[in-house]
Amino acid sequence: MRRHGLRLATTAALLGVVLTLGPPASAQAGTAALKGKFEEIKEPSTHQPGKVKLTEFADFYCPHCHRFEQEAVPILEKEFGKSLEVTMVGFPVMPGKLPTAFEMYEQAKTMGKGNEMKRVLFRTIHKDKTHLLDRVIRESLIREVGLDVKTFEEGLASGKPLKAVDLGKEWGMKVNVQQTPTVLLDGNIKIEAIDPDNLRVVIRSILDSDKKK
């Protein structure tokens, strides 16, 4: 277990993600007052004053996504509290993997346990090294997060979770997600170089700009 005071710079180094997909824009129309490195994309803003919505496009099988969830997200949530809303969108990029984990996450979201299932799935895949999520494994995980197995499995069989996964992939492709994790803030501020220090700067800048209005 890492110490509570782990510095964000250390977290960034552990993530080991360096993306060079083009120069970031930090002073485009509508975001001129914001600090940090980001790209403003042509999507509607979902911003609500006093709150930032962080949408992470992630693959359950991606080690960088696991580290981001384990190390960066808790630090950001602790600092910004209720002013930050974090949501994950499944965006499979690792080859040869079944979509079961993503479907389980989507089904758990509909039953009010998305975050709990997300944590359990990342742990199962990366720490327990269990990649085949057959019915026996699923039942154990479903019970662990406190959901009814029969209802959950019926939801999976309905095909709706898979459709939700497909919609998430379509969204990611629309905003040109090329690797995971990629973050959107408030729907139109894209940050591909997942540097927690930079995320802090941009999020703080958004919240500070609200106070000045």
Q: Residue 186 maps to which CATH number?
A: 3.40.30.10
pLDDT attached to residue 150: 98
Both 131 and 157 in a single domain? Answer: yes
Q: How many domains does the chain have?
A: 2
Q: Are strands 52-58 and 84-90 parallel, antiparallel or unpaired?
A: parallel
Domain range for 121 is 92-176
Both 99 and 200 in a single domain? Answer: no
Both 167 and 117 in a single domain? Answer: yes
Beta bridge partners of 44: none
Distance CA 92, CA 99 (A): 8
Beta bridge partners of 45: none
- Token pair of 93 as six digits: 């990029």
Both 57 and 156 in a single domain? Answer: no
Both 165 and 202 in a single domain? Answer: no
pLDDT attached to residue 12: 41
- Token pair of 201 as six digits: 């700067």
Both 193 and 156 in a single domain? Answer: no
pLDDT attached to residue 68: 93
Both 131 and 84 in a single domain? Answer: no
Q: What is the largest CA-CA distance in the chain?
A: 54
Both 113 and 167 in a single domain? Answer: yes
Both 2 and 86 in a single domain? Answer: yes
pLDDT attached to residue 32: 66
Both 123 and 185 in a single domain? Answer: no
Reading the chain (213 residues) residue by residue, the pLDDT tens digits are 433 433 444 344 434 433 333 334 333 335 767 899 999 999 999 999 999 999 999 999 999 999 999 999 999 999 999 999 999 999 999 999 999 999 999 999 999 999 999 999 999 999 999 999 999 999 999 999 999 999 999 999 999 999 999 999 999 999 999 889 999 999 999 997 678 889 999 999 999 998 887
pLDDT attached to residue 173: 96
Are the C-beta atoms of 180 and 64 separated by less than 8 Å? yes
Q: How many CB atoms lie within 10 A of CB 55?
A: 22
Both 79 and 3 in a single domain? Answer: yes
Both 60 and 112 in a single domain? Answer: no
pTM of the full structure: 0.81
